[in-house]
Amino acid sequence: MLSILNISHLYKQGDNTLSIFNNCSLNIHAGQTVALVGNSGAGKTTLLQLVGLLEKLQTGDIVVQGKSTKAMSDEERTILRRHTYGFVYQFHHLLPEFSALENVMLPQLIAGIDNKIAKNKAIELLETLGLSHRLEHRPKQLSGGEQQRVAIARALANNPKILLADEPTGNLDPTTSSEVFQMLVKQVKSQGIAAIIATHNHSLANSMDRFVELQNGTLIEK
């Protein structure tokens, strides 16, 4: 489903260059959940940005459903991202002026899906995530855990094949974090999505299929 092939990445900081990855590879199958752990600054966010085709590759390739992405134009990458990926971040990034329901409909409408179909899909997803009583609420009328559940529903709205989450529950209290995390993993598994979830929480990481640590520019499978 998703292959990271021999990627290396350097950041220039003034006269210095900072090597973030050194020849990293990882193969992920459909329905597999991969925990990405590593100290702050290890490069987890950078890796997710590269895998998510949001940042240009310097060396190596990201292969999505058998297709190489390294030579794709920005437009081709945008289309692939829109149809194949879902993203969840540490902060929900919901649109404040829109309801929970509208926030989940929006990516579908952008992808050209009919309004009624988008609405039904959004209702179904929000119900699955336990939010059927919060459809018309704006983000600021929701708790932190509810906001992240809406963000998860939004990430799943276009039936992604790949889900990338960057410390999706890092901003929540431990109990809520664990509940929301388990909901995310359950959805990903039941829909056969390949997922990489960056987290600092080792017990949450251990509940996933694979545990991969980013250390000194190398991916180490534990």
Positions touching ligand ADP (CB under 6 A) are: 11, 13, 18, 20, 38, 40-46
Which partner, ligand ADP, Mg ion, none, binds residue 174 by CB below 5 to 8 Å per kind? none
How far apart are CB 52 and ligand ADP at their closest, in Å?
A: 12
The item of ligand ADP, Mg ion, none sharing an interface with residue 92, based on CB under 5 to 8 Å by kind, is none
- State the nearest-atom distance from the C-beta of 36 to ligand ADP, in Å: 9
Cα distance between residue 24 and residue 108, in whole Å: 33
Q: Which one of residues 22, 45, 171, 201 is an interface residue with Mg ion (CB under 5 A)?
A: 45
Q: Pick from ligand ADP, Mg ion, none: which does 11 bind, CB < 5 to 8 A by kind?
A: ligand ADP
Which stretch, 20-28, 29-37, 38-46, 149-157, contacts Mg ion (CB under 5 A)? 38-46
- The interface partner of residue 160, options being Mg ion, ligand ADP, none and the CB cut-off 5 to 8 Å by kind, is none
- Crossing angle of helices 115-128 and 100-110, rounded to 10°: 130
Cβ-based nearer residue to ligand ADP, 18 or 79 = 18
* 167 DSSP 8-state letter: S
Q: 184 and 150 in contact (C-beta within 8 Å)? A: no
| Count of residues that bind Mg ion according to CB under 5 A | 2
Question: Whose Cβ is closer to ligand ADP: residue 11's or residue 192's?
Answer: 11
Which residues lie below 8 Å from residue 103, measured CB to CB, with a gap of 6+? 94, 95, 139, 150, 154
- In the complex with ligand ADP, the residue whose CB is nearer, 146 or 166, is 166
Applying CB under 5 A, the span of 24-32, 39-47, 81-89, 211-219 interacting with Mg ion comes to 39-47
DSSP-derived pairing of the beta strands 59-64 and 2-13: antiparallel
Burial label for 178, CB within 10 Å (0-12, 13-18, 19+), is middle
Q: From the CB of 204, what's the least distance to ligand ADP, in Å?
A: 16
**Least separation, in Å, of the C-beta of 166 and Mg ion?**
6
Token pair 């000194």 in the structure block, residue: 216
Distance CA 44, CA 167 (A): 9
Tokens of 164: 């990338």
Give dist(CA 217, CA 184) in Å, integer.
Answer: 28
Residues that bind Mg ion in the complex, under the rule CB under 5 A: 44-45
